[in-house]
Chain A
Amino acid sequence: MTRLILQRLGLLIPTLLGLSILLFLWVRALPGGPATALLGERATPEAVERINELYGFSRPLHEQYLAWMGQLLQGNFGASTRTQQPVLEEFFARFPATIELTVVALVIAVGIGIPLGYVAARHQGRFLDQTTVVASLIGVTIPVFALAFLLKYVFAVQLGWFPSAGRLDPSMVATHPTGFYVLDGILTREWDAAWNALTHLVLPAIALGSIPLAIIARITRASVIEVQGADYVRTARAKGLRPPRLRRRVVLRNAMLPVATTIGLQVGLLLSGAVLTETVFAFNGIGSYLANAIFNLDYAVLQAFILFIAIAYTLVNLAVDVSYGLIDPRMRVR
C-alpha cells in the first residue's frame, strides 16, 4: 500500500511537468494578450510593447517557460498582472471556499446517490426503479448553470428559504482561522455563523452535486444488479447467510468497486462545475476568480490556479486508488 502511494506520488512529478508545458502553451495560444486585456482595445503599440517588455512576454517562449519554472521551484508563483496581488495568496484565500462547496456537493451526491441506486436495484424493473432511472437521466442532462439559476429563482428568490448569494450574510461577524466557514464556526463555537455558512452552501451544493449524484446512482444500480447475479452471492445464500449480512458484506461491498472509480472521476467534474456554480451564486471561491482571470488573460493566475487544481485532482484520484485497494484486496498485489 505504501509502495502504491509512493509510486503514484512519484508519477505526479512527470505528470505535472507535462501539464505545466501544455498549460503554458495553451494560455499563450489564447487570442489577445495580457497587455491588450490590461490596456484595452485602443492601446498604442508602444504601450503594449512596454507592458510585454515589463512582464517578459516578448522573450522567446522557452525562456519564458524556464523563467516561470525557475520561479515556481523557488516557491514564487508570480503575481496577477491585473491586481499585482501574489497568486499564491489569492489562491489560498479562495480555495477553502471551493473545497467546502465541493465537499458538501460530494457528500450530497454520494450520500443520496448510493442509497438511491441500491434501492433501485433491489426493486429492479418495478416502479421505484423506473422512477429513479428517469429522475437520474434528467439529473444528468440538466446543465449545471441552468439548475443553479432554477434553484436560486425558486428557493431563494420566490420562497426565500435559502440565501441567494455569497458565503455568509454581510451582517454576520465571524472570525475565520481556517477559511472553511462552516468549520470555522464550529471551531470558534460561533454556532450562528456555522449555521449561516451552511445555509449558504445548500443551493450551490445541490446544483453542483446533481450530475454526480445522478451518475453515482446509475452506476450503483447497475453494479448492484450485476453483483446480485454473481456466483459468489448465490454461494453465500447456499451457505445460509442471513439477508442483512448478505446485503451488507457480500453485495454492497463488491458493488462499491466501480462506484469508487466513478466518484474519483466525478471530483474532476465537481472542480470544473464549481466555476459555473460559484459564478451564479456569487460564491467567492477559486471558480469565480478563475473565470475573471480567463477574461483578463491573467497568465500568472491562470497557470498557477490550473496547476493547483490539477494537483488537487491528482491527489483525489490517488486517494480513490488507495480506497480501491482497501475495498478490493486483488488491487493490493499490483
Chain B
Amino acid sequence: MTGSPLLSLRDVEVTFTTEAGSLPAARGVSFDVHPGETVAIVGESGSGKSTTAAAVIGLLAENGAVTRGQILFDGQDLAALPHSATSRLRGSDIGMVPQDPMSNLNPVMRVGDQIVEALEDNGVARGAAARRRAVELLEEAGLPDAERRARQYPHEFSGGMRQRALIAMGLSCRPRLLIADEPTSALDVTVQRVILDRLDELTAELGTAVLLITHDLGLAAERASRIVVMYGGEVVETGPALELLRDPQHEYTQRLLAAAPSLASRRIQLAKVTGLAAVAARDLLSVSHGDGVDAATEGAGGTRTDSIIEVSGVSKVFQLRGKGLFSRTEAFTAVDDVSFVIPRGRTVAIVGESGSGKSTVARMMLDLIPPTSGSITFNGERVGGANRAAEVRFRRQVQPIFQDPYASLDPLYSIYRTIEEPLRAHDFGTAAQRRERVHELMDDVALSPTLLRRYPAELSGGQRQRVAIARALALNPDLVVCDEAVSALDVIVQSQILRLLADLQSRLGLSYLFISHDLAVVRQIADHVCVMQDGRIVEQGTADDVFDQPQTPYTQMLLDAIPGAGLELGVAS
C-alpha cells in the first residue's frame, strides 16, 4: 500500500482508571489503515480490540483515556485534540456500525428519524430533504420497502433489518473511515453473509476505509486485506490476511487458527477422530468386530446401537394472540412433524437459523413444554406421561446445558452449591458423599476445587460453562441436551469445551443432543445432523454426508455462508 495512511496508530496505550487502580486495556498498539482499505482487528474478548476501536472514534468509557502514543487521522492526532474537536469528526469523518443490532437503535424513535437526526446534526441535509435522503440510504443498505420501513420503529424490524439500518446510519454522512465492531456476530450466518456483502460493496463504491473488529478469524480473512491480531491488550501479529493465515508467526495466532471452527473444515476430521476414537474403542470392547471409525459411523446410522430417545412425528403449535380486539388467536406451527432418534452414546445435532424451531424441539425433549402431537420416547418410556416417578427419573437422566453461562447459573449460589443442588434435589447420599461427588465432578470438568467457594460472577465464561457441565453431569445422566452450549464462548475456549464434551462422552457413555446455529461447531462434535428450517427437518444424515454432500439447497446455503469456508489455506493438511 502506497501513499499516506488515513488512520495511523503509533504505540497507543489506553488506560482505565478503576477503584483497584489504573488498568491498561491496550498497550503499544500500532497499525495503519490506508484510504479505501479494509483492516481487521482479530482477538478474543478482553483482547483490547474494541477498546482500540473506541479510542479511535473517541468513545471510550468515561474512566478510560489514551495515555500514550498517537492516533493520527488524516495527519491529525486525535488523542491530542480536545473533546469538542473529536466529537465533530464522529459521524461525518469516522462512522461506526456497532455490534448488537438489538440494543443499538433508539427504541422510542422511528428508524428513518434516527438517520435524519444524524444527517441534520452533521449538516448534511435537513427537513424534507433529510427524510428523502434517509430513505435512499436505507435502500442503499439493502432494506426492502425502505419508504415504509423508515416510518417504523426498531421493534418492528428483524435483527438483519436493524443491522442494515445501522449500516445506513454509519455511512449516512459518507465518512472516510468506518469502524465496524463485530457488525454481524449477532446474526444468522446466511443473513450475516448478505449483510457483509452489502457492506463490502458499499464501502468499495464509496471508497470508505473499514476497520473491522471481529473475533472470527475466518470472517476477517474473507473480508479484510490486512489483519491485526490482538491478545491481552497488545498487537501480537500484523500482516496481509491470507499470508498471516497461511503462515502464522506468533504462537497465539497459531492457537487461534487451530481453534477457529470456521476454518477447520478440513482439519476437523482429525478432531473428530480423536474425539470419537475413545467411543470407537469402547465399542470395540463391547462388540468385538469392525474397526473403530466404521463402527462409529455405522452406529450413528442407528442400525446397530439402540437409541436412547426417539422423537416421532412431533409438532408444536403455539396460539398467538390475534391483532384485533375480538379476533381469534392464530395458530403458529413452530415445529412441524419432526422425527429422529439419538443412538445411545452418540451426538445428534440440530442446526438451523433463529426461528427454525430447534430450541422448541430441545424444550420438548427436556419435557419443559408438551408437544401438540407426536411422541417422544425415552428409554422405551413415553415422555410427559402422568406418572410422577417416571418424571423424576426422566429429570435425573436428562440434563440441559444452556447457551448463556452468565444467565443460567444462579448468581447467589456458590459454585459448590450450584453443583450440589441437583444431588440434594434428588436425595443423593449423605452430605459427605455429595461433597465427594462435587469434587469428582470438578475434576471431571478440569476445574480447580479452589473455585468451589467462588460465585459465578468471579468466573470466566469458559469456567462458568464448565460449572454448568459439572452441574448437568452430577446425577449421571444418560442424555445431555446442549442448547447453543458453546455459542457464547471465544473460539479457543469453545474448542476446549467441545473437546471436554467429546472426552466426557467417551468416558461416561453420554448421548448428546446438540442444538446450534453454527455449522462449523456442529461439524466438530456431531455424528448425526438434522437441518431444520421453518419448523421442519429438511435434511438429516451422518455428519459427513450432510457436510460433504448436502442434498438440499438450504443446507448448501448454510454451508456456503460459513465465513472463510471458501478460503484455500495451508492449514488444511
Contact = CB atoms under 8 A, between A and B. Distances in A.
> Chain A interface mostly helix, strand, loop or mixed?
helix
Contacts of B57: 238
B406 interface: no
A7 interface: yes
B87 interface: yes
Given A7-B325, A232-B103, A330-B155, A238 B98 contact: yes
B117 interface: yes
Contacts of B96: 235, 238-239
Interface stretch (A157-165, A246-254, A264-272): A246-254
A236 interface: yes
Contacts of B103: 230-232
Given A230-B103, A250-B106, A240 B325 contact: no
Given A235-B96, A329-B153, A240 B91 contact: yes
Interface in B76-122: 87-88, 90-92, 95-96, 98, 100, 103-109, 114, 117-118, 121-122
Nearest to A238: B96
A2 to B, nearest CB: 9
Contacts of A237: 59, 87, 90
A131 B92 CA distance: 39
A62 B172 CA distance: 70
B219 to A, nearest CB: 21
B170 A236 contact: no
B173 A240 contact: yes
A241 B91 contact: yes
B105 A240 contact: no
Interface string A321-334: 00000011110010
Given A232-B106, A235-B96, A6 B153 contact: no
Contacts of A241: 91, 117-118, 121
A3 interface: yes
Contacts of A254: 106-108
A50 to B, nearest CB: 53
Contact of B108 (A235, A236, A327): A327
A242 interface: yes
B351 interface: no
Instruction: Give the interface centre of A239, A242, A257, A329 by most chain B CB atoms within 10 Å.
Output: A239
A17 B552 CA distance: 61
Interface residues of B, number: 32
Interface in A129-154: none
B166 interface: yes
A131 B57 CA distance: 34
A59 interface: no
B108 A245 contact: no
A176 interface: no
Contacts of B109: 249-250, 253
A234 interface: yes
Contacts of B118: 239-241
A247 B261 CA distance: 43
Interface string A2-39: 01001100000000000000000000000000000000
B328 to A, nearest CB: 16
A240 B108 contact: no
B59 A6 contact: no
Contacts of A239: 90-91, 95-96, 118, 122, 169-170, 172-173
A257 B100 CA distance: 22
A330 B121 contact: no
Given A239-B96, A240-B118, 14 more contacts: A6-B325, A231-B100, A231-B104, A232-B104, A238-B59, A239-B172, A239-B173, A240-B88, A240-B122, A240-B173, A250-B106, A253-B109, A330-B107, A330-B153
6 contacts: A232-B107, A240-B87, A240-B173, A241-B91, A329-B153, A330-B108
Interface of A: 3, 6-7, 230-232, 234-242, 245, 249-250, 253-254, 257, 327-330, 333
- Counting from the closest, the 6 A-B pairs by CB-CB distance are A240-B91, A238-B96, A231-B103, A239-B118, A329-B153, A240-B90
